[in-house]
Structure 1
């Protein structure tokens, strides 16, 4: 017997956390964004901005699926285009502010925003049960009337699966290109062996980075802290590097700038400090000598290492600190049996270390009423959809 429930309170999250954690353990390379550890930290930090909505699917007493969501009342333009500001408060840090946003929308999407360095989410489901729980989850959407639009970013394979199920419902929907790729690397060899597979130019740049680093500071080294070693003091040092980074100020050609806000640091302290929830482990890679110059905060869940945030002092950009960090991350991953490094980014820099990329799309789902059908028609006309791939319904 399938039982679908909506959970919207802290007590409800606490009640299902053990079963949720056990479910996450059945997925080998689970995204941190889908664990109770991450979602507990996110909902606790950003509760004043968005209401939590978690849909769970039980088969008898066994938890088979979890879909973490957030609810906000937002203003959107007629194309319903969302590139970065899934959380409406992120609009303030975009380099180019969206215009003509006048449609009041009750929006559902995954719990994500720029301050948490996450623009992805998804559905955590028991292996082998994906399609059956999808039908139950989207049927739950249909049963509610307190929303207008769900904006669900996902990779292409997932978009096709969701579209197949949505086509069996009465809810209007379509799929739109997300204009974004996320890069990953499978760790099947050591860093030194990996270098041998790269181009001559890549290897030369790596050697130049080492030489420049030693000339700059002979005491320069890299090291890694994990778990309880990632203390509040260490995080404070990491974010101090961030305050000296180019990322926190406007820069030509950059889509957004991300100041080190109280919410950003609070969220990361929560994720790193929830040691009783063992499904996510913080991993902090640092580069320093006479002082700290660069750092990368990662989170390990199952066999996946997520590169959450990277900062380096702008004054040391000539030594390519990102390359030094990538090498440290790779070596640590090899030593600690990481299967996948998820670079959590879409820049040309992370692309140079990746061996796989996923094109991301947006599945836009509308209420099955006159307003929903009108919104879908307007959005397709103004913003476009992937009609040629059949990823839509009418």
Structure 2
């Protein structure tokens, strides 16, 4: 399915014609993987989830055949300008028509349910998976192309069958506005749903000590005490780079995951993912290969008794993304997780990386961050009578509550 669109008046600075094609066959996707890889490597600070191997591993492990279409945007010369994986599923939703965590219905058992969801919905959303810690926040494209690429995708899904409600995560502000403008131009109703989540990044990588010095005295004092305790305990911090070096320590990651609180779960957590199942399978498959565009990195904190903390990361372009972290609970006075993050910040700074995505919402991460962006849902209604009736009915139920 293809939508050929001329840029709107607001975008006349770039009058190119772009077309979005929705690919559903694996063979069609396989035919453009090399182009996708090249685009990933060409985009400054592309999100790790935009890598084609992240998509392939997720599709093969977690998705039903044909349920993961791929939106591909090309310009008038046939050059690839944007890529965005999608998911189509039948789900149950509440009156807001918005998931909290389980975009993929397979993820529902991992989420602690609080409210009954009475509304059956045919949902279209960006590729997401809790075991893969994967949330696709938008199309892979150059920043200057985003409005045109989103416009082309909105045009393509206008006539795409098999969905009633689309749910696209986006950063609040310009990114969300671009999606709403694109939907409006194609007669697709939409609204914003705030999530209360904050994305925390370090966009100006500097030595860890400089990051510490930016904080209030209490945090600086905590770091000094942790370092003193770490010195007495013989804590060592190491960073390993490359697929072979990380694969050699997959067993260590599994052992610490089993010993961490995340394995048993906590009563007050909304999501519980045991690493020894699908999550381990996903990351060991995704990180088994290596290319210049995506290099596995592993931080390890250990003392004479063995390893305490592991921090699994991915180096891509000028960016480092934290994927998973596990701690077995030993040496709490050393704050080994914090000090390991600090060692990884120094490692990134020494290699000239510009951006660290902590991929976490934990409150203490704010001490390491210099950028915080709120995330919302752009919720859209398919331009069909059944979808609009569902949209209206859900809105009425919400008003009556």
Judge same fold: TM > 0.5, yes or no: yes
Deviations 1:191-232 (A, max 9, x none): 2233333222112101111222333x32x2011111223443
Count of residues paired in the alignment: 380
Once the two structures are overlaid, the 10-residue window that deviates more, 76-85 or 239-248, is 76-85
Q: State whether structure 2 residue 167 is matched by structure 1 residue 151.
A: yes
1 CA distance for matches of 2:293 and 2:395? Answer: 40
Aligned match for 1:78, one of 79, 82, 95: 95
SS at match of 1:124: coil
**Which 4+ stretches in 1 moved above 4 angstroms?**
381-384
State the partner residue of 2:254: 239
State the partner residue of 2:105: 88
Deviations 1:282-335 (A, max 9, x none): 111110122110011111221121111111002333421221121111111101
State the partner residue of 1:140: 156
State the partner residue of 1:58: 74
- Assess, with a 3 A threshold, how the Cα gap between structure 1 residues 236 and 7 changes in structure 2: closer, same or farther: farther
Structure 1 position 17, deviation (Å) = 1.0
Deviations 1:224-278 (A, max 9, x none): 1112234434122112101111122232432222212421111101221122x43
Q: State whether structure 2 residue 354 is matched by structure 1 residue 348.
A: no
SS at match of 1:254: coil
C-alpha contact (below 8 Å) 2:90/2:121 kept by paired residues: yes
Q: State whether structure 2 residue 348 is matched by structure 1 residue 319.
A: no
Q: State whether structure 2 residue 317 is matched by structure 1 residue 302.
A: yes
Structure 1 unaligned regions, length at least 5? 385-394
Q: State whether structure 2 residue 302 is matched by structure 1 residue 288.
A: yes
Aligned-pair Cα RMSD in Å: 2.0
1 CA distance for matches of 2:65 and 2:89? Answer: 7
Aligned match for 1:271, one of 274, 286, 299: 286
- Assess, with a 3 A threshold, how the Cα gap between structure 1 residues 297 and 383 changes in structure 2: closer, same or farther: farther
SS at match of 1:80: coil
Structure 1 position 100, deviation (Å) = 2.2
C-alpha contact (below 8 Å) 2:45/2:316 kept by paired residues: yes
Structure-to-structure mapping, 1:118-137, within 5 angstroms: 118-137=134-153
Scaled by the length of structure 2, the TM-score of the pair is: 0.89
Once the two structures are overlaid, the 10-residue window that deviates more, 123-132 or 332-341, is 123-132
2 CA distance for matches of 1:360 and 1:89? Answer: 23
2 CA distance for matches of 1:85 and 1:142? Answer: 24
State the partner residue of 2:393: 378
Structure 1 position 133, deviation (Å) = 2.1
Structure 2 unaligned regions, length at least 5? 1-16
Once the two structures are overlaid, the 10-residue window that deviates more, 122-131 or 46-55, is 46-55
State the partner residue of 1:173: 190
C-alpha contact (below 8 Å) 1:34/1:121 kept by paired residues: no
1 CA distance for matches of 2:331 and 2:394? Answer: 45
Q: State whether structure 2 residue 346 is matched by structure 1 residue 331.
A: yes
Structure number with greater CO (CA < 8 Å, separation at least 6) is 1
2 CA distance for matches of 1:188 and 1:10? Answer: 39
Once the two structures are overlaid, the 10-residue window that deviates more, 279-288 or 42-51, is 42-51
Deviations 1:146-201 (A, max 9, x none): 11121111101210111112121211211110111110012342222333332221
C-alpha contact (below 8 Å) 1:50/1:72 kept by paired residues: no
C-alpha contact (below 8 Å) 2:166/2:381 kept by paired residues: yes
Once the two structures are overlaid, the 10-residue window that deviates more, 304-313 or 229-238, is 229-238
Structure 1 position 72, deviation (Å) = 1.8
Structure-to-structure mapping, 1:189-268, within 5 angstroms: 189-215=206-232, 217-218=233-234, 220-268=235-283
SS at match of 2:187: coil
State the partner residue of 2:116: 100
State the partner residue of 1:362: 377
- Assess, with a 3 A threshold, how the Cα gap between structure 1 residues 128 and 186 changes in structure 2: closer, same or farther: closer
- Assess, with a 3 A threshold, how the Cα gap between structure 1 residues 210 and 381 changes in structure 2: closer, same or farther: farther
